[in-house]
Amino acid sequence: MSQKSFNWADQSVIVTGGSGFLGAHLVAHLQELGAGNIIVPRKKDYDLREKEAIIQLYEDYPDTTMVVHLAATVGGIGANREHPGLFFFDNIMMGTQLLEYARRYNIPKFVGIGTICEYPKFTPVPFKEEDLWNGYPEETNAPYGLAKKMLLVQAQAYRQEFGYNAIHLLPTNLYGPGDNFDPQSSHVIPAIIRKMMEAMDAGEDHIVLFGDGSPTREFLYVKDAARGIALGAAYYNSSEPVNLGSGYEISIRDLASLIAELVGFDGEIRWDTSKPNGQTRRQVDSSRAEREFGFKATTSLRDGLREVIEWYRVAREQERQQATS
């Protein structure tokens, strides 16, 4: 595989969700690579759940050569349990129609970004792409995971029937600067960081976390994920899905201890076992990504956590200053 043959300067790329957490990092990376034109549709201009908005988007940018579909309605365990219908509808409507009209408008390539939640609840670790269909996803996020998984089915069907070049990438759990720290919808790393910092500010001697801390997760630094998506977009042209991961599995209990060390929180971590744990283990086999398009994560969890903690400290201080000014 020659990685010198792809010229980003020739590309006009629509990045849905390009102003979001992962999207902002991907757009920045594509700019570094010299992408010729990057279009980030905003929800106020294009509601991607609506067919007419998608048609208008493709009409407005007729020179588009690639769509990278990152836009999603997503959240942690609590948000998934509260809004399973919303998560299913929003994600399946966006994905299905974006891909269908990309094909109709002859856009050369569609890069669908899936989710680790597509995997069955009981999947041998590390998760291999071949195991995607060996069971039902973990119940707390199944509607979201299945909606995203249909994008894979659609991509494969379109390649088979129409010869359309659509690919499907599966990043594992992401974290990094710019992450969502909203207590109602954040994922585990920002949720723990926020709880510990707020407890320290309030002089509290403990925090409470969901579950018992035993589940394991693999976390991928968001800048590594952006680089992996760009490599796949440039060099991967096949129907088989591809995992993007870091290769490092850690329990939520050990993760909480590591974050406490880096944040400087020395209080007690209590576990609310009345709350769900989510899937028991998650770690992916990323060998296909390395083999097919040369992707390998380079940021250690400790280094990545240091960066996101420092980013959040600065963001909190800016919020305080704005509130008092």
CA 20 from centroid of its chain's CA atoms? 10
Q: Is 144 a catalytic residue?
A: yes
Closest to 131 in 3D by CA, of 223, 240, 261: 240
Closest to 63 in 3D by CA, of 108, 17, 97, 5: 108
Contact 296, 286 (CB under 8 A): yes
Contact 215, 253 (CB under 8 A): no
Strands 109-113 and 166-171: parallel
Q: Which of 46, 58, 144, 158 is catalytic?
A: 144
Contact 225, 171 (CB under 8 A): yes
Contact 191, 237 (CB under 8 A): no
Burial tier of 53 (Cβ tally within 10 Å: 0-12, 13-18, 19+): middle
Contact 40, 71 (CB under 8 A): no
Contact 111, 69 (CB under 8 A): yes
- Residue 103 phi/psi, 5° resolution? -65, -45
What number of other Cβ atoms are within 10 A of residue 256's Cβ?
Answer: 22
> Which tokens hold the place of 103?
């094909």
Contact 107, 99 (CB under 8 A): no
**HSE-up of residue 62 (Cα within 13 Å, Cβ side):** 1
Positions annotated as catalytic residues are 144
